[in-house]
């Protein structure tokens, strides 16, 4: 190439990060005062494309620092160091109702960062970029081990930090969407916890009989952690999201086997028939199916299925009996589950019972149901497979992107501090 | 603190009245492990960030949930591609909160002393009992080094661990970091074109990029890691083989290529569609410095700038324009010198007084800036004398403004990218007999030189390759 000016330089540090780690995106060697678009692109495992972009103007040294400079347009504005990740949405023309979830934690999310001339909003694919960089985002740290669990009829995945331990343990329960979701456990193992991601929604099918797991399933999972040679048997936490919280709270109060050291509930509720099996819980929820609402785009709002919060004590977990610290993380715009109302009711129950000193509630305005690890793209609505009937619907989760993303960062920080205090701390709380 | 007959206690009363206790284990430390593991206390937490770093990226290491004011050893282990175990161990005291922070805390002893956040990496040494004369060099740059970091109780020395690696019952905590020469998105392309043998590394993106022609020394073969790292900083880089490579015709122990080969290599870079043809630097270490100076002064190609590290301005064996050298390096040993252990130093081979002046590169004809880096403890090349001679010749030609020298006390010959261990001595050859060669350099001083010089090199390249001429 004769006499050409070199392309600008895009640098991402760290270029290989853990997903909850911040990065700095720097663009250098631009002409000063140039309008540019910094664009991030992920090609997901499901073969979809997700993108985010910010509009910037290079300074008098020809630099743009996404961590320090304000975006003046695009998918986020203002100084948003991680906006290139959390504001990601499927590119125009994508299939509807998508959610970005990593299945294989042995490989990273690969983020292609490009800089374009001008303030662009579309047609990135057809436009040559000025410069590019690649960042990897990993759920699993090097040295973290992944072990498939099929013993004792359980279906799950265990993640172990490097080293002999022993480590505190964690039972990681997702929600009604079902399946085996590993990424949060991989991430928690990267923070020093033996974490068991458990699939409990997939019904057991033998012959013509389809059965949900019984309470003994969760007890077996808890015991697996307790008996694991690398786990401190009396330092095991329960972490539940959505329906997983109901399970966690129920077990924490009523199970003679499950004695968690602490409990984290994300977007959860205590409303469910006490001492019921999973099947009983679903049956109870079905009774309220007529309370299903739809928004203006015909997306399902399920929050009323548990409302009003019952006064009948047999219809909700008696959190007044809980003996361990509890952290409730609540989105005030949760359209899927009445997390706010439930949190308030739990607070009242615990105050009455005299154990409210165990309770911490973090309530986030403008935040929806899917409070995920930080910098995950906010999903307001997505496709959902109803596990029992295998039907596909579009569910409204709620939340507005900016406050929801801020909440994810704060909620994760609170979760990590809470877990470290109670599981690694020496003082008895 | 349990005092038992299992430990030999050495107490040293310090001037300020502090008691410093070092524990010398002459039995296995299982009892200590029981104390740590008793009840349900979890293992301490050892964290390194980032967990996957580029070789020249600093890593921050800290530990929490240890007892307060307690002696602890932090260890790094690495298994090289050749299967050798490398280790660094350093001694710290936890603070009042039972924490350690290697960015803040000083090492009291071990592989390094003082506050050295990256000491565990640059102070890695082969474990006791290893083969002699090892040098840590990455051959496959597309995979990382996995470094195992661990915490051990008390002050442990390499003899105590006896290269056991991660053994159950020894480590209080462990974590792993991956260290890469290649950033994600960098592409490695094998080059066998126009007779040129090398590996090209391209940054991600459309380019065009400034470029570097990357030359090593008389060790021969094809050394890729510096080029991989340069590409990770936004420059296309061609690591060039010119000697001792199976794909270059002719005897392996001789340089069989001449000026036309280096001209072809430079032009290959120039013609690459993703390279800016007038923004190419030449970088050389050791004999590569002579080649770089020759390219910049006597060939028709015009590099934008030159970086030379610890190398001569002339060639002891006459270098012809077409055929390289008629003699091999080994054929003329009169300036080889040996120390009391039989290690050879090649230093005097490159002394300007021993090189016929007709074999000097015509540095006075150079038109581009030169950054010359000197390790003052260089035992393999007469770097200081060569720097002086180059500087003198440029001055005589009225070109002093082209010359910048960086001189590092205590640094040896092998000034490489940062945070990698220096080899003061390593195996040179096994034929006709095993011969070790002296490179020089004292570990800590050499590490400081690598860190500083790499920053300066990147800045120099940035300035001249991206700036105006």
CB contact under 8 A, A426 and B175: no
Tell me the pLDDT band of A62, cut-offs 50, 70 and 90.
very high
Can you tell me which residue has the tokens 């290893």? B130
- ipTM, two decimals: 0.94
Which of A 15-74 lie inside 8 A of B, CB atoms? 15-18, 21, 29
Closest residue to A142, CB basis, from B146, B184, B232 = B146
Size of interface A-B (CB pairs under 8 A): 143
pLDDT, tens digit, for every residue of B2-43?
Answer: 333 333 333 333 333 333 333 333 333 444 444 444 457 899
Q: Which of B2, B161, B11 is nearest to B73 (CA)?
A: B161
| pLDDT at residue number A205 | 55
Q: Is this model's pTM higher than 0.90 or not?
A: yes
pLDDT, tens digit, for every residue of B318-352?
Answer: 777 777 777 788 888 889 999 999 999 999 999 99
Q: Can you say how many angstroms the Cα of residue A165 is from the centroid of all Cα atoms in its chain?
A: 26
At A203, give phi and psi (nearest 5°): -70, 150
Structure tokens at A365: 């305005």
At A18, give phi and psi (nearest 5°): -80, 150
Give the residue ranges of DSSP H helices in B123-200. 158-161
CB contact under 8 A, B206 and A2: no
- What's the average model confidence in pLDDT over B32-57? 79
Bridge partners, A394 (sequence order): A383
| pLDDT at residue number B168 | 43
Q: Name the catalytic one among A55, A369, A378, A422.
A: A369
- What's the average model confidence in pLDDT over A123-131? 96
Structure tokens at A282: 């679903």
Q: Can you say how many angstroms the Cα of residue A285 is from the centroid of all Cα atoms in its chain?
A: 24
Q: DSSP letter string over A84-121?
A: HHHT-EEPTTPPSS-------TTSPEEEEEEEEES---
pLDDT, tens digit, for every residue of A385-413?
Answer: 876 677 889 999 999 999 999 999 999 99
With a cut of 50, say whether residue A32 has pLDDT above it.
Answer: yes
- What's the average model confidence in pLDDT over B360-370? 97
Cα dihedral A222, A227, A229, A233, rounded to 10, equals: 70
With beta carbons less than 8 A apart as the criterion, state whether A250 and A218 touch.
Answer: no
Bridge partners, A146 (sequence order): A159
Q: Which of B459, B137, B466, B467 is nearest to B307 (CA)?
A: B459
CA A320 to chain B, closest CA, distance in angstroms equals 27
| B286 labelled catalytic | yes
Contacts B53 to A, Cβ<8 Å? 14, 16
Which of B 302-341 lie inside 8 A of A, CB atoms? none
Give the residue ranges of DSSP H helices in B89-223. 119-122, 158-161
pLDDT, tens digit, for every residue of B237-295?
Answer: 999 999 999 999 999 989 999 999 999 999 999 999 999 999 999 999 999 999 999 99
Strands (E), B94-144: 100-101, 109-110, 125-126
| pLDDT at residue number A214 | 85
- What's the average model confidence in pLDDT over B429-458? 96
With a cut of 90, say whether residue B170 has pLDDT above it.
Answer: no
Strands A359-364 and A326-331: parallel
Which of B 217-276 lie inside 8 A of A, CB atoms? 232, 234, 273-276
Distances in whole angstroms, Cα of residue B234 to Cα of each of A28, A379, B105, B143, B292:
11, 35, 34, 19, 21
The Cα–Cα gap between B27 and B347 comes to 47
Structure tokens at B439: 């490179």
Q: Name the catalytic one among B111, B378, B380, B453.
A: B378
């Amino acid at each position: 190439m004769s006499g050409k000016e070199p392309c600008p330089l895009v640098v991402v540090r760290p270029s290989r990060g853990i997903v909850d780690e911040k990065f700095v995106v720097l663009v250098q060697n631009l002409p000063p005062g140039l309008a540019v678009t910094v664009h991030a692109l992920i090609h997901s495992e499901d073969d979809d494309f997700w993108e985010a972009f910010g509009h910037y103007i290079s300074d008098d040294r020809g630099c743009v620092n996404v961590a320090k400079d304000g975006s003046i347009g695009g998918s986020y504005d203002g100084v948003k160091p991680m906006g290139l990740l959390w504001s990601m949405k499927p590119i125009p023309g994508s299939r509807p109702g998508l959610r970005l979830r990593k299945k294989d934690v042995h490989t990273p999310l690969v983020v292609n960062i490009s800089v374009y001339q001008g303030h662009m909003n579309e047609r990135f694919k057809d436009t040559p970029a000025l410069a590019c960089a690649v960042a990897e985002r990993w759920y699993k740290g090097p040295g973290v081990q992944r072990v498939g669990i099929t013993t004792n009829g359980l279906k799950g995945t265990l993640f172990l930090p490097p080293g002999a331990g022993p480590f505190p343990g964690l039972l990681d329960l997702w929600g009604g969407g079902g399946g085996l979701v590993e990424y949060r456990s991989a991430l928690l193992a990267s923070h020093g916890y033996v974490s068991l991601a458990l699939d409990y929604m997939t019904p057991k099918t033998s012959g013509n009989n389809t059965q949900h797991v019984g309470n003994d399933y969760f007890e077996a999972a808890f015991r697996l952690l307790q008996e694991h040679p690398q786990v401190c048997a009396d330092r095991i936490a329960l972490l539940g999201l959505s329906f997983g919280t109901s399970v966690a709270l129920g077990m924490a109060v009523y199970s003679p086997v499950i004695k968690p050291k602490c409990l984290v509930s994300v977007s959860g509720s205590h409303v469910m028939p006490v001492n019921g099996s999973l099947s009983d819980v679903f049956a109870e929820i079905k009774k309220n199916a007529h309370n299903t609402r739809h928004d203006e785009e015909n997306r399902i709002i399920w929050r009323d299925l548990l409302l009003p919060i019952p006064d009948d004590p047999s219809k909700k977990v008696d959190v007044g009996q809980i003996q361990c610290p509890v952290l409730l993380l609540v989105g005030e715009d949760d359209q899927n589950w009445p997390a706010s109302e439930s949190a308030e009711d739990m607070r009242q129950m615990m105050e009455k019972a005299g154990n409210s000193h165990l309770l911490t509630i973090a309530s986030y305005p403008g935040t929806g149901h899917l409070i995920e690890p930080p910098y995950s793209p906010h999903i307001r609505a997505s496709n959902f497979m109803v596990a029992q009937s295998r039907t596909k619907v579009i569910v409204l989760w709620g939340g507005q992107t900016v406050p929801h993303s801020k909440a994810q960062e704060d909620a994760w920080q609170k979760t990590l501090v809470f877990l470290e205090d109670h599981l690694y701390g020496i003082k008895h709380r | 603190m349990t005092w038992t007959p299992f430990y030999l206690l050495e107490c040293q009363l310090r001037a300020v009245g502090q008691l410093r206790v070092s524990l010398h284990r002459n039995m296995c430390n299982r009892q200590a492990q029981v104390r740590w593991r008793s009840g349900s206390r979890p293992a301490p937490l050892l964290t390194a960030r980032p967990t996957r770093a580029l070789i020249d990226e600093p890593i921050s290491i800290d530990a929490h949930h240890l007892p307060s004011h307690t002696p602890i050893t932090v260890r790094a282990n690495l298994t090289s591609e050749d299967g050798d175990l490398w280790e660094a161990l350093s001694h710290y005291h936890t603070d009042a909160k039972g924490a350690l922070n290697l960015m803040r805390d000083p090492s009291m002893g071990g592989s390094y002393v003082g506050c050295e956040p990256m000491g565990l990496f640059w102070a890695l040494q082969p474990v006791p009992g290893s083969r002699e004369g090892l040098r840590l060099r990455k051959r496959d740059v597309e995979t990382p080094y996995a470094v195992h970091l661990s915490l051990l109780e008390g002050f442990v020395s390499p003899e105590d661990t006896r290269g056991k690696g991660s053994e159950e019952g020894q480590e209080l905590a462990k974590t792993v970091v991956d260290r890469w020469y290649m950033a994600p998105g960098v592409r490695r392309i094998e080059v066998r074109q126009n007779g040129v043998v090398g590996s090209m590394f391209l940054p991600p993106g459309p380019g065009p990029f400034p470029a570097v022609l990357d030359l090593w020394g008389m060790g021969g073969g094809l050394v890729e890691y510096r080029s991989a790292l340069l590409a990770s900083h936004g420059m296309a880089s061609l690591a060039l083989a010119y000697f001792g490579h199976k794909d270059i015709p002719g005897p392996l122990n001789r340089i069989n290529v001449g000026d036309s080969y280096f001209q072809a290599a430079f032009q290959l870079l120039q013609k690459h569609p993703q390279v800016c043809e007038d923004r190419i630097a030449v970088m050389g270490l050791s004999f590569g410095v002579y080649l770089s100076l020759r390219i910049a002064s006597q060939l028709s190609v015009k590099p934008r700038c030159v970086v030379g590290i610890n190398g001569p301005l002339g060639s002891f064996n006459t270098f012809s324009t077409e055929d390289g050298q008629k003699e091999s390096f080994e054929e003329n040993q009169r300036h080889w010198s040996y120390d009391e252990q039989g290690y050879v130093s090649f230093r005097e081979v490159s002394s300007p007084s021993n090189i016929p002046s007709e074999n000097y590169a015509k540095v006075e004809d150079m038109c581009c800036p030169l950054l010359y880096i000197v390790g003052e403890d260089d035992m393999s090349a007469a770097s200081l004398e060569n720097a002086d001679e180059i500087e003198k010749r440029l001055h005589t030609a009225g070109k002093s403004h082209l010359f910048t020298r960086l001189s590092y006390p205590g640094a040896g010959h092998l000034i490489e990218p940062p945070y990698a261990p220096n080899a003061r001595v390593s195996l040179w050859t096994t034929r006709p007999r095993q011969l070790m060669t002296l490179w020089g350099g004292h570990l800590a001083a050499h590490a400081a030189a690598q860190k500083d010089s790499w920053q300066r090199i990147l800045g120099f390249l940035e300035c001249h390759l991206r700036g105006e001429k």
